[in-house]
Amino acid sequence: MGKAGAGKSRVLGLRLRLTFSYVIIFTVLLLVVGALFRQTLDNSLQDNTAAILNEEWAAVKGYLVLDGGRPSWRYDPDDTEEAFIVQRLRRVFLLSDAEGRVLEVSDAYSYMGIESKQELKSMMKTGQPVWRVRKDQDGVSYLVRSAVLVDGKDQFLLTIGRALDTNERILGQFTKRYFAIVPLLILATCLLGWLMAGRALSPLNDVAQAAQSITGQNLGLRIRRRGAEDELDHLIDAFNGMVDRLQSSFNQIRQFSIDVSHELRTPLTAVRGELEVAMISARTIEQYREAMVTAIESVDRLTQVVRTLLHLSQAESGQVTLARDVLDLSEVVRSVVDHFELPADVQRIQLEWQLSPRSMIKGDKIQLERLVSNLISNALKYTGTGGRVEVIVQTRGDRVEFSVEDTGRGIAPEHIPNIFERFFRVPDGNVDPERGLGLGLSFAAWIAKAHGAKINVESTPGVGSRFLVQFPAAGGRAAEEPLVRQEAGLRGGGRLESGHGA
Ligand SMILES: Nc1ncnc2c1ncn2[C@@H]1O[C@H](COP(=O)(O)OP(=O)(O)OP(=O)(O)O)[C@@H](O)[C@H]1O
Ligand SMILES: [Mg+2]
């Protein structure tokens, strides 16, 4: 419950964040667009005013008569329209002569302040119309155009202006209206963003819910793909893949527990049986001793099972750290072969070896000895009297090969894939009291894997088997050197004659 709540609030947090991002982006966009639009509007209003001023300036020439420096306006006062036009032209108006003396000025212009003679004269010298924005005492802005007016030989400076307050009002109105809508738009974005984020995230919630319903008891459940082939489907695939792997590990562990209990129960039942029989029927000390010896043997076997299992579990759970020493595999194999000479002799099996010196690999001596020993002991165990076992170490390119070949009973093809599984033993009719645990090859496989090596098995039932382990050579390519051939077993022990021997 608590966990589900936490998941929900995290999704809610994501939804909030998404919405927030939408809103921020949209607000910035709105502000930028508004500012740009306002600037464009401002420019076009000013252009418009300037165009009108140009026209009015030209119109003034039609009504103004400069009679020897004395201005007078010529129009029909009875024509109300004309009178109105002239009145408008004279509203913001200044006429000055070449000396900068003011000949006529309107009240509105005076209110703005009349330029000094110096300024008026300098404006005449430019020869170009001069545009300015000026403010009167009330703060009203005017666009003002001054240009030279030629009348015969005389030059005058004619300045007219137009108030910009209408423009400013339009701009002000636009700004006010626009920024009144902006909060509404932002609010709408909030709502829309919240809905959209919710829609986008809802499949995520479904997946989370499905994931929550998967437990150790129903690992077979899978989250259904949505078929959109999007990131979420990808996530679902990854998740289902993870559950697949978990399930197979789970099954393996379950099977392993069953196997272990079975493996431990058999010797335990035996011990109990033996002790019970002894308790009821033993009479002499000799009989008790016998029962105890058998019980101790069973307990030994139990101990061995438990110890091997412990090693294997430690190895597979990564608790065993392997040394990475550079060592000569031939020397490792030779020391192990030494131990098997006597048993081979007893079994009347011919044990031979060909060990190529300086077969350098990187690895852990103890674990490698265990691997070699498991393979050789299998070969001896599953080969009958008079058979032959051959152990070879040789370098091939960038690999060092170790192989054990026997002339034993072989393994049927259908069993080969299973022999590396824990507790697997090829079933054979007779129950051998000395039979193995079925753990040797599991261990060997783990050791090989931990050394980056591969184990290959070739076997023909009734003919023999060959186990081949290929290690990467230390430092890549190892020098290929001629084999040193030795024989042991029936004809007595052989010794490696190379200079690296003990
Ligand atoms: N060289 C071989 N020839 C024939 N059969 C073999 C050979 N090596 C292994 N096997 C078969 O593979 C099975 C598994 O081998 P593994 O070494 O894992 O177990 P084990 O030898 O029975 O017991 P353990 O090695 O744990 O004492 C063996 O029981 C045997 O049936
Ligand atoms: Mg074995």
For residue 471, the CA-to-ligand 1 centroid distance in Å is 22
Q: Taking a C-beta distance cutoff of 8 angstroms, is the pair 369, 482 a contact?
A: no
Residue from 277, 307, 332, 289 nearest 451 by CA = 332
Q: Give me the domains of the chain, ranges plus CATH numbers.
A: 2-168 (3.30.450), 231-316 (1.10.287.130), 325-491 (3.30.565.10)
- Quick one: pLDDT at residue 476? 52
At what angle are helices 440-450 and 285-316 packed, to 10 degrees?
Answer: 30
How far, in Å, is the centroid of ligand 2 from the Cα of 278?
33
Split at pLDDT 50, 70, 90, the class of 217 is confident
Q: What was the pLDDT predicted at 164?
A: 92
**pLDDT tens digits along 407-419:** 999 999 999 999 9
Instruction: Give the ligand 1 atom nearest the CA of 439.
Output: 26
Query: Range with the lowest mean pLDDT among 292-306, 307-321, 325-339, 471-485?
Result: 471-485
pLDDT, tens digit, 9 for 90 and up, residues 145-204: 999 988 888 889 999 999 999 999 999 999 999 989 999 999 999 999 999 988 888 888
Secondary structure in 3-state letters for 361-422: EEECHHHHHHHHHHHHHHHHHCCCCCCEEEEEEEEECCEEEEEEEECCCCCCCCCHHHCCCC
Ligand 1 centroid, distance to 428 Cα (angstroms): 12
Going through 136-174 in order, the beta strands assigned E by DSSP cover 141-151, 154-163
Length of the chain equals: 502
C-alpha 87/C-alpha 358 separation (Å) is 117
Token readout for 490 is: 């029936």
pLDDT at position 202, please? 85
Distance of CA 103 to CAs 25, 75, 95, 465, Å? 59, 19, 5, 128
The residue nearest atom 9 of ligand 1, judged by CA position, is 378
Cα three-residue angle 285-289-292, rounded to 5 degrees: 140
Q: Which helix (H) or strand (E) holds 129?
A: none
Smallest CA-to-CA distance from 420 within 445, 455, 402 is with: 445
Ligand 1 center to 340 CA (angstroms): 17
Instruction: Tell me which of 377, 407, 425, 460 to substitute to probe ligand 1's pocket, judged by most ligand atoms within 8 Å of the beta carbon.
Output: 425
Please determine, for residue 264, whether its predicted confidence score (pLDDT) is greater than 70.
yes
Residue 212 has pLDDT above 60, yes or no: yes
Query: Does pLDDT of 317 surpass 90?
Result: no
Tens of pLDDT, residues 372-409: 999 999 999 999 999 999 999 999 999 999 999 999 99
Residue 498: the pLDDT is 32
Q: Among 154-163, 420-429, 460-469, which is the least confidently predicted range?
A: 420-429
Query: Could you give the maximum distance between any two Cα atoms of the chain, in Å?
Result: 164
Q: What is the mean pLDDT of residues 215-219?
A: 81
Report whether 321 contacts 450 (CB < 8 A).
no
The residues placing their C-beta within 5 Å of ligand 2, an ion, are 378, 436, 440
Question: Tokens representing 38?
Answer: 């306002």
User: What would the mean pLDDT of 420-435 be, rounded to a whole number?
Assistant: 74
| β-strands 350-355, 484-487 pairing | antiparallel
In this predicted structure, what is the pLDDT of residue 494?
37
The mean pLDDT value of the chain amounts to 87
Bigger pLDDT: 497 vs 502: 497
pLDDT, tens only, 274-304: 899 889 998 999 999 988 898 898 888 888 8
The whole-angstrom separation of Cα 408 and Cα 459 is 10
Q: What is the pLDDT of residues 70-123, one digit of tens each?
A: 888 988 889 999 999 999 999 999 999 888 899 999 999 999 999 999 999 999
Q: What is the pLDDT of residue 9?
A: 64
Distance 426 CA to ligand 1 centre (A): 7
- Lowest-confidence segment of 11-15, 325-329, 491-495 by average pLDDT: 491-495
459 near 397, Cβ under 8 Å?
Answer: no
Run of H or E including 144: strand 141-151
Q: Residue whose CA is closest, atom 17 of ligand 1?
A: 440
What is the Cα–Cα distance from 112 to 107, expressed in whole angstroms?
A: 9
The protein residue whose alpha carbon is closest to atom 7 in ligand 1 is 378
Q: 């019980």: which residue's tokens?
A: 295
Structure tokens, 416: 């080969």
- The residue-averaged pLDDT of 28-45 equals 94
Q: What percent of the chain has pLDDT over 90?
A: 55
Which of 197-206, 346-355, 422-431, 480-489 is least confident? Answer: 480-489
In the predicted model, what is the mean pLDDT of residues 444-457?
A: 94
Ligand sitting nearest the alpha carbon of 410: 1
**Calpha distance 393→486 (Å, rounded):** 12
